[in-house]
Amino acid sequence: MLGNPDLERKWLELTYDGVMTVTGSKKQNVDGETVSAPNVVLYENQPCALSFSGTPDGNQGEDAGEISYRGTIFCAPELDIPAGCRIMVMQYGKSYALVYSGEGITYPTHQQLSVSRKGRA
């Protein structure tokens, strides 16, 4: 199997238990002028897998209910997801609202996106 990226990708995608919707800014040409449209759905219902880095951190006291954590999304390598996008992942019956803050690492079989969540539980 190793050395056959198409077959490796097919097997890897069998492990994707989630779907994601990516929202961000998109440049469009309107009447000959380039305009940036915010909050545009760039991708919808894309197969993915979300993996967490450790357990969510919870704050106590004045900031009780605040949580933050980092994770990695595994998805198709051809998706072009700009930094700053918001990504909603539905996996195992739960929704996760995440922010993609960096540059994806792309391989022939998949790409990895470093995401984070910070907000109220």
Residue 61, domain CATH:
2.40.10
Q: CA-CA distance, 55 to 71, in Å (whole number)?
A: 10
Residue 2 has phi, psi (to 5 degrees) of -65, 140
Residue-level pLDDT at 64: 61
30 C-beta neighbours (distance < 10 Å), count:
8
Full domain range(s) for residue 50: 5-120
Contact predicate 39/88, CB 8 Å:
no
Q: CA-CA distance, 5 to 13, in Å (whole number)?
A: 12
What's the domain count of the chain?
1
| pLDDT per residue as tens digits for the range 7-63 | 999 999 999 999 999 999 887 787 888 878 788 999 999 999 999 876 655 555 555
| pLDDT per residue as tens digits for the range 109-119 | 999 999 998 77
Q: CA-CA distance, 70 to 115, in Å (whole number)?
A: 6
| pLDDT per residue as tens digits for the range 71-106 | 999 999 999 998 889 999 999 999 999 999 888 899
